[in-house]
Amino acid sequence: MELYDTLKSYDQDHLLTYWNDLSTKEQSQLTQDIKKININELNGYVTRALAPVNNGHSNNIDQKMKPIPSEHFGSATDMNDENAKRWEVLGLEEISHDRIAVVLLAGGQGTRLGVKYPKGMYNVGLPSGKTLYQLQAERIRRLEQLAFERTGKKGVIAWYIMTSEATKQQTLDFFEQHSYFGLDKNNVILFEQFTLPCVDFNKKIILAAKNKIATAPDGNGGLYRALREHGVLDDMSRRGVRATHVYCVDNILVKMADPVFVGFCREKGADCGAKVVEKNHPDEAVGVVCLVDNVYQVVEYSEITSETACLRTESGKLTFSAGNICNHFFTLDFLKNVCSLEQESQLYHHVAKKKIPYLNKDGKTVTPSTPNGIKMEKFVFDVFKFSERFAVLEVKREDEFSPLKNADKPDGIGGDSNPRTSRWALMSLHHRLIASAGGQIADQSGKVITVEESCSNTEREYPVQVEISPLLSYAGEGLDNLVRNKTLPSPVHLTLQQ
Ligand code: UTP
């Protein structure tokens, strides 16, 4: 049989082990799955992706790293700063002219969180019960309104959502069920990224079932191929989009199309930009944005020595402190360039060792307790190397970054990047916004709980319940009239109607 011969020539004939157990329909499903794979190409990806690991290679990256030069760097840690105000106005102008789109990376499988639906549909347990998708939709609506109030022109922020086989249908159904959370559905554009087969450590493709190959989305850097092959860039051109803000679904604090960031990148004339937060401590496991051989790159903590990670500037700040938070600015021209086949094929896959459900000798699907294979993923930030004018904006972590990666601990205490910490981060931010607008919050016994007191224990629930609807305020604006000189009893949920 031809299929067998082809597979045999690539040492992948084990994929037909259960052929005789399959119905005709199942045989044809498996055949189709196999025919979709370009095994030659896949072998090339795997070999290239595994090469550094096999060589035990260190690449001596430390010697080649340089921090971000000051002319490419900006800070928006103080929103009253003149620069931040100027950038914000510039950004709102851009938004009001329909020039800014947001691109959501929502194709991940969310295995660590462990729910059976896309992460964007997760409700972290805020007083409103809003999901991540809803919070994001409402931030877009509020920002369009803000741009209108500032410029007198109502602009549209088109929302492009990259899904995958794992998330597409449920995401689509969810938006339909919720009437796109008040957005015009024509401005919410879903497109699907591609998948790649998962392989074991001997480069053999893994079977997920007797008639099904184990596949995984090709990483958030699969964005570029998906944008190209689904004609998304043409859609952006038609709408007059000039630049995009690309971000991850799991950051509850994400400031979509943040006008400060947009304005900053515009003023710098950047084709590509990254928002960063200051690294907490030298051995925090976060990638840092820096120059390597004079090219912008994200260097993972695991790639450098602790000596390099501990280097400090004269002011005492870590030399390599620009922690990447997956908040990127790309002009449309830059995207068109990097999405071309020529450039995009220069982005290499990275290896992620994962626990991939596989068929055991008895033909039963088993989920291993330790990693048994690899998924190959491109990373969204790998295009930095193509930038000709890069810009980096540092923002406050506590205002802008709290990713949801893991499930809660069984006792609900501690842990990191989980639903509890997401809730905590958002409530703490909203508490601070109310405090800076002159209000205070009391707990159920009537005792005023200050921001400082609330922050003294980050391992437990936030001591008061506090939430501000994004429809009311995007970044703390417009709260004065509602809260100044008032003590609000917890639970506080400020909404547009109040
Ligand atoms: P993560 O790398 O944290 O992956 O994705 P994940 O799927 O959310 O979670 P785990 O690793 O399976 O537990 C960071 C961001 O990149 C997106 C995710 O949806 C998230 O917004 N992503 C990841 C994609 O869009 N596609 C991918 O193939 C992988």
The domain limits of the chain are 55-405, 418-498
- Of 327, 303, 457, 307, which is closest to residue 396 (Cα–Cα)? 327
**Nearest ligand 1 atom to alpha carbon 104:** 21
- Residues 299-342 have pLDDT tens digits of 998 899 999 999 999 999 999 999 999 999 999 999 999 999 99
* Cα 198 from Cα 195, distance rounded (Å): 9
- Of 478, 471, 482, which is closest to residue 143 (Cα–Cα)? 471
403 Cβ below 6 A of ligand 1: no
Residue 58 confidence (pLDDT): 53
Of the options 3.20.20.70, 3.40.350.10, 3.90.550.10, 3.90.1300.10, the CATH number for the domain spanning 55-405: 3.90.550.10
Cβ atoms < 10 Å from Cβ of 315: 5
Q: Average pLDDT over the chain, rounded to whole?
A: 95
103 Cβ below 6 A of ligand 1: no
219 Cβ below 6 A of ligand 1: yes
- Report how far Cα 473 is from the mean position of its chain's Cα atoms: 23
Residue 55 predicted with pLDDT over 60: no
Where residue 454 falls among pLDDT bands split at 50, 70, 90? very high
- Of 369, 389, 353, which is closest to residue 268 (Cα–Cα)? 389
Mutational test site, ligand 1, from 104, 190, 248, 418, max ligand atoms within 8 Å of CB: 248
Tell the residue nearest (CA) to atom 20 of ligand 1.
Answer: 248
155 Cβ below 6 A of ligand 1: no
Cα(354) to centroid of ligand 1, in Å?
Answer: 13
Residue 256 near residue 140, CB atoms below 8 Å: yes
Residue 284 near residue 291, CB atoms below 8 Å: no
Residue 48 confidence (pLDDT): 84
- Residues 380-409 have pLDDT tens digits of 999 999 999 999 999 999 999 999 999 999
Cα(376) to centroid of ligand 1, in Å?
Answer: 12
- Residues 334-375 have pLDDT tens digits of 999 999 999 999 999 999 999 999 998 888 999 999 999 999
Residue 53 predicted with pLDDT over 60: no
| Residue 373: both structure tokens together | 């294979």
Where residue 80 falls among pLDDT bands split at 50, 70, 90? confident
Residue type, 45: Y
354 Cβ below 6 A of ligand 1: no
111 Cβ below 6 A of ligand 1: yes
Cα(1) to centroid of ligand 1, in Å?
Answer: 39
Residue 498 predicted with pLDDT over 80: no
Alpha helix segments (H runs only) across 65-131 = 82-96
* Cα 302 from Cα 370, distance rounded (Å): 20
- Residues 186-234 have pLDDT tens digits of 999 999 999 999 999 999 999 999 999 999 999 999 999 999 999 999 9
222 Cβ below 6 A of ligand 1: yes
**Nearest ligand 1 atom to alpha carbon 118:** 19
Beta bridge partners, 162, equal 105, 191
Tell the residue nearest (CA) to atom 5 of ligand 1.
Answer: 108
248 Cβ below 6 A of ligand 1: yes
Mutational test site, ligand 1, from 102, 104, 105, max ligand atoms within 8 Å of CB: 105
Cα(405) to centroid of ligand 1, in Å?
Answer: 9
Residue 132 near residue 120, CB atoms below 8 Å: yes
Mutational test site, ligand 1, from 250, 374, 401, 404, max ligand atoms within 8 Å of CB: 250
Residue 270 confidence (pLDDT): 98
Least confident interval from 51-60, 95-104, 195-204 = 51-60
Residue 56 confidence (pLDDT): 40
249 Cβ below 6 A of ligand 1: yes
Where residue 52 falls among pLDDT bands split at 50, 70, 90? low
Residue type, 174: F
In the predicted model, what is the mean pLDDT of residues 481-492? 97
- Of 248, 220, 249, 251, which is closest to residue 403 (Cα–Cα)? 251
Degrees to nearest 5, angle at CA 197 with 195 and 201: 140
Where residue 1 falls among pLDDT bands split at 50, 70, 90? confident
In the predicted model, what is the mean pLDDT of residues 172-189? 98
Mutational test site, ligand 1, from 225, 246, 249, max ligand atoms within 8 Å of CB: 249
In the predicted model, what is the mean pLDDT of residues 106-113? 94
- Of 356, 83, 381, which is closest to residue 224 (Cα–Cα)? 381
Tell the residue nearest (CA) to atom 4 of ligand 1.
Answer: 108
282 Cβ below 6 A of ligand 1: no
**Nearest ligand 1 atom to alpha carbon 164:** 26
Residue 63 predicted with pLDDT over 60: yes
Tell the residue nearest (CA) to atom 25 of ligand 1.
Answer: 107
Of the options 2.10.10.100, 2.60.120.260, 3.30.9.90, 1.20.1250.20, the CATH number for the domain spanning 418-498: 2.10.10.100
Phi, psi for residue 455 in degrees, rounded to 5: -85, 0
- Residues 2-18 have pLDDT tens digits of 899 999 999 999 999 99
Residue 312 confidence (pLDDT): 97
Cα(184) to centroid of ligand 1, in Å?
Answer: 26
Residue 181 predicted with pLDDT over 80: yes
226 Cβ below 6 A of ligand 1: no
